[in-house]
Structure 1
Amino acid sequence: MGNYKKAKYIFCGGCCRTYGKLKELSKNLKGYDLEEFVADLLKAMGYRTKVSPHGGDSGIDIVAYKDELPPRTMVQV
């Protein structure tokens, strides 16, 4: 989880610079760290998220939604 800690600080700055950092960071993160990063990114975009327990999740890693009513966005990382 060492690489993921650095991700917390990339949301400031210019849009293009931030996109480049996001792209670079996503290449370096793997597995559960990448799932947590994507969930945090969705939260920053205004979604509520639920990360599936590790293993046995039928391919769905994150459930994202804006409010308690459908629709739900299912994310496979």
Structure 2
Amino acid sequence: MYPNWGQYKRADLIGQSNYIKNNDVVIFNEAFDNGASDKLLSNVKKEYPYQTPVLGRSQSGWDKTEGSYSSTVAEDGGVADCK
């Protein structure tokens, strides 16, 4: 669905689901949609207060995207973990 309303709905459904609860660690991959992945991480924040940012989304710090291949970053790494 445009403009990615389906991704926001999916973020809400995952956050409300029983299978996401009571795990030691949860890793989300393919978290490329910034708004939906922010919503998803916010939805699980109470259950999993310790979270990494989506890898490569930052331009500085430990998770920054580096390399001499390009000064333009096309997309972030799409991976975050929660515990």
TM-score, normalised with respect to structure 2: 0.32
Structure with higher Rg: it is 2
TM-score (norm 1): 0.34
Higher relative contact order (CA 8 A, sep 6+): 2
